[in-house]
Structure 1
Amino acid sequence: MKKIYISGKITGVPIEQARAKFAEAERILMCSGMDPVNPMKNGLPETASWKEHMVEDIEMLLDCQAILMLSCWRTSKGAKIKKAIAEQMGMEILTFKERNIDQKNSGAIRQS
């Protein structure tokens, strides 16, 4: 089963909104037969520093075969760093098409 790291903007987004967006991507990946890696579940407290989160998240990323970029990634410093790492490591880069959560999963994820 392919492990896919989910990447998108977290800093500056209301925490419940970020959790919901990452949970939706996680659900879709699982329904597509993939093994999602959700950085919102990295085990660190929300009060940990940005740097602490980045170190843990990058360790999680390096254990994956691909990265899924949520639509909000372009405005996230951390997501841009993780995408650059994934590219340099030769990982597959996927993008997530935002859509209604009740729609079918097919077509939600595509290769960049």
Structure 2
Amino acid sequence: MDEIVLKGMPFFGYHGVLPEENAIGQRFVVNVWLACELSEAGRTDDVSKTVDYARVYAIVREVVEGLPKKLIEAVAEDVARQLLTTFARLQSVTVEVEKPGAPIPGIFGQVSVKIRRDRA
């Protein structure tokens, strides 16, 4: 299966378990891997035979900047569901939501959740 990958999409949202996370907000970074057949798009150079990256970005942005959730797991799940619902070409989608500023005492680069959801 071929893939379209959008990586490093930064957004500002209000997700988190702690009340201050919901009030102050923080940065989230989202990466998506979209599994679909791309050979026809490659052969024909026809944009209608692929997935519109701009629409993918808009959906991810709407979810991350939208209604607050407690868990980044829920953010990832919502992104995956909406992408699979919107794009019939997708066979599966992998979504990674990074939370660089997670309220964890200690030094770390990031916390992230990565899920894969298939069409079936």
TM-score calculated relative to the size of structure 1: 0.32
TM-score calculated relative to the size of structure 2: 0.30
User: Highest CA radius of gyration, 1 or 2?
Assistant: 2
Question: Comparing both structures, which one devotes a greater share of its residues to helix?
Answer: 1
Higher relative contact order (CA 8 A, sep 6+): 1
Question: Comparing both structures, which one devotes a greater share of its residues to strand?
Answer: 2
